[in-house]
Structure 1
């Protein structure tokens, strides 16, 4: 009888009611982990828990309403996850975001918003979560192809995701001696609530597909599969990495959605 690769493990997923967060929690649960999902909207968290329970009937899924930008809220979620079985093994901070604005229209407030959304939320989760990983563990952040590819009208987002990957490399170096691995998944354009407006415009999707060798957009399950790999034993010698899951888009570029044609 085979054992699930994450049997006996406990995970916390922040942003757990979003499309990518829910998919990540579902994938971890399917591999045998207990999972706590955290998000600001309790109703949305309950809906996500129901989706996961339908897909993985024997899953142990708990919810913790809270703000990933609040040390108090994140600390409470981490304590809840740790209390499930006296351990924390997997941490997946998925919160992030931005808004489109040409650089000459962007403000300092835009930059600070993106730094908080994409770096501070991950920093808080890692800084408070790592001390609970007494037996080692795996931290998987969600980056973006924007960390390495310029994207017109997303300068503040590109800067924040590049900064996140710099943080990941340093944290991975420092925490390696504790048996804690720190990596990131770097999605290309992926279907989610945050990208709903882009998916509603066939012309925008077409311009992305022109720059995507595999000729399809991403689904949350694509990202979740990579997260599950980085959480599991198959990646036990992998740390400090940011893996592109993007249909090959990094071989080309991001489309210029400001340009004509």
Structure 2
């Protein structure tokens, strides 16, 4: 039986993260060959093993590298392209930021979060697009923090807002080449990166009233949106950043300053 992504090749940056692994698994299940890039080889190998356990016929390569380093990104994109002589899908998941009051931020901390969330995606797009043919898809991972201000998380809010501007700017120009660029904007989702938030007393209690659907996200919730934006089902969708957040954007982000200071 023909699968929707048979013959296609995808690269996933930040490839050992929870959302990245779940997204890669769905891409593999629908036929795509994969290259997972991340900084920790052992973590990438665990993700590869998880994917192959679920999809035994999957082709999954791994390559250690830093998504904010241009040469590492170029090497990973080249390795992905060499799997089958083509590159069809880029999933850029690298991102993150720490809690700190706005007036305590240093310029270098803002630059760091910008590089981590924006430059990493820019490099994947800038060097990946020349390897792609019309019909290619780029999917970025944003955050509800791009739209909803978050007390003590201003640097991350600024960086994710810039990422969504990158999505719109790239989509407008790359549409002429038949390449689509979109983003998923997750709400609070359980993963290695958000583990401390799930483990810190009081944090989930503060978040809970802000989710109309009454639960927090799991990686597969986000992965299903990534799979949609990467595949042929979304062939007339570009320049979009949409929330998969249990309804969080209907409300607000909580002020966690008292909880964090108490911790």
Q: Answer yes or no: same fold by TM over 0.5.
A: yes
Q: RMSD between aligned alpha carbons?
A: 1.2
Partners of 1:197 and 1:162 lie apart in 2 by 23
Between 1:251-260 and 1:93-102, the stretch displaced more is 251-260
Q: Aligned to 2:193, what secondary structure does the other structure show?
A: helix
**Where does residue 42 of structure 1 map in the other structure?**
41
**Where does residue 188 of structure 1 map in the other structure?**
187
**Where does residue 172 of structure 1 map in the other structure?**
171
Shift in Å, 1:201: 2.5
5 Å-filtered alignment, 1:152-163, equals: 152-163=151-162
Shift in Å, 1:206: 1.7
Q: Aligned to 2:36, what secondary structure does the other structure show?
A: strand
Which stretches in structure 2 are left out of the alignment for 5+ residues?
A: none
Shift in Å, 1:135: 3.3
Which stretches in structure 1 are left out of the alignment for 5+ residues?
A: none
Runs of 4+ in structure 1 off by over 4 angstroms are: none
Partners of 1:114 and 1:259 lie apart in 2 by 23
Query: Does the alignment pair 1:134 with 2:133?
Result: yes
TM-score relative to the length of structure 2: 0.97
Q: Aligned to 1:160, what secondary structure does the other structure show?
A: helix
**Where does residue 124 of structure 1 map in the other structure?**
123
**Where does residue 69 of structure 1 map in the other structure?**
68
Between 1:205-214 and 1:182-191, the stretch displaced more is 205-214
Between 1:145-154 and 1:201-210, the stretch displaced more is 201-210
Partners of 2:244 and 2:28 lie apart in 1 by 21
Between 1:51-60 and 1:193-202, the stretch displaced more is 193-202
Per-residue displacement from partner, 1:187-241 (whole Å, max 9, x unpaired)?
0001111111110035211211110001111111111110000011110000000
Shift in Å, 1:259: 4.2
